[in-house]
Structure 1
Amino acid sequence: MTGHNGLCIRLLGEVEVLRDGAGAAPLPASRKTRALLGYLAATDRPHRREHLCDLLWDGPDDPRAELRWSLSKIRQVLHGAGGGYLQADREHVAFQPGAAEVDLLKLRQLLSPGVSATSTAALREAVSLFRGEFLDGLDLPSCYRFHEWCLAEREAASALRLAALGGLVERLQEEAPEEALAHARALVVADPLAEAGHAAIVRLLTHLGRRRCALEHHDHARRMLENELAAPPSGD
């Protein structure tokens, strides 16, 4: 996934910045700097410098100096691909994606009509964007404002993923049951307590003539849900 100018920022998993012909750009070692990059790219709007300082450097040190240092490191990563992606003045900082592509923004765009109105091809593309959790490893519990924002965005992205996977299972279960089964398994991996995902796996395995596997998964799901929820699956 790259924009036509060769820059792609991936936030659905560990943060990555990709350039055509050069692969992944080396990122700053500072987790706060990488978190700032993710925040600016995900929110896609200008922010006051004071807000960014409070978000990540609310402490006894010099937060404005920390912010300036982090922005200088982000510029080195982004501007190496050409283009002025980071816009900053004395008061505000903003990421300007231009022709660059940000996977989270792409996900929102693909699913903006709602799952029922989104094409099957777009649903496939949406689920393919995920390599892991949003900003994997960068939730920064010590920065409570950023932490709360990150968890909320992570939950929202996960909900979009589950909705897209569920939509694919429903659409493909008759015409492409093997692909539907793969999406049902991905749904259960993403949400092990999703009864609908387990039910879809059992149903699809049965449809494919793999009754023994269907029974084994049913028994596994029943035991797991009983242990986790103190109740058997609702279908029993």
Structure 2
Amino acid sequence: MTRPQQASDSPYPLEFLFLGSPEVRSAGQSWHPRTRKTLALLAYLMLNPAPHARDRLAAMLWPDAERQQGRASVRTSLAQIAALLSRQSTLLITDRDHVALNSATLWVDVHRLTAHAAMTTQTSRELAETAALYRGDLLNGLDFPDLPEYTEWLETERETARLALDRLLSLQILRHQQAGELEAAVDAARQRLRHDPSTRRHTPA
């Protein structure tokens, strides 16, 4: 089973749903940070586990702030993230100048999607369950048009997620065809067409 259908029954103390409108669940309850940029910082760290310089994070998310003010904003957001992680706060690795978040042991929908897309032994049911994680574009609605570096990163990550979904659906179609399940294959093909990454790459002039 890819993820629990009911948050209250989830065996995972924390769930990070970034595909579609982002939501973070802690013990089945939605977590609401004080600012949208805190959520953006959390997602950025989770999807980029390498250490990041605090100054660079501040410049990316608070480009108009003075250096000390930007670092203070990063520090405030990190305090909220550390509180969210609670007993797993050791996954957040910080020092005076750098930050990293090891999300490998956490339940993150986009991590599941991309990992499963690289597998070739899944059944059609398993493929369908994983594809169902894709509720919409990555971090849908968490856009900041005035933050060019963040926007460029987000578009790249969104494209990666779309390509992973496309591979999952292609495999699902193949499994249904191999089993003679033509109606199910057509349904999966329609779903693939709706999310086809190639239709988003170029906008007609």
Pairing 1:1-236 to 2, within 5 Å after superposition: 1=3, 4-19=11-26, 22-61=27-66, 62-79=69-86, 82-84=87-89, 85-97=91-103, 99-113=105-119, 117-120=120-123, 121-173=125-177, 174-191=179-196
For the aligned residue pairs, the C-alpha RMSD in angstroms reads 2.5
TM-score scaled by length of structure 2: 0.80
How many matched pairs? 189
- Structure label with greater radius of gyration: 1
**Aligned residues of 1:110 and 1:122 also touching (Cα < 8 A):** no
**Aligned residues of 1:5 and 1:99 also touching (Cα < 8 A):** no
Cα gap change, 1:168 to 1:30, in 2 (>3 Å): same
Q: For residue 88 of structure 2, give the secondary structure of its aligned residue in structure 1.
A: coil
The Cα shift of 1:39 comes to 0.6
Q: For residue 31 of structure 2, give the secondary structure of its aligned residue in structure 1.
A: coil
Which structure 1 segments of 5+ residues have no match?
Answer: 195-227, 230-236
Question: In structure 1, what is the Cα distance between the partners aligned to 2:193 and 2:117?
Answer: 21
Q: For residue 18 of structure 1, give the secondary structure of its aligned residue in structure 2.
A: strand
Cα gap change, 1:89 to 1:157, in 2 (>3 Å): same
Question: In structure 1, what is the Cα distance between the partners aligned to 2:63 and 2:161?
Answer: 27
The Cα shift of 1:66 comes to 0.9
Higher relative contact order (CA 8 A, sep 6+): 2
**Aligned residues of 2:163 and 2:197 also touching (Cα < 8 A):** no
Which structure 2 segments of 5+ residues have no match?
Answer: 5-9
The Cα shift of 1:98 comes to 5.4
Question: In structure 1, what is the Cα distance between the partners aligned to 2:62 and 2:198?
Answer: 37
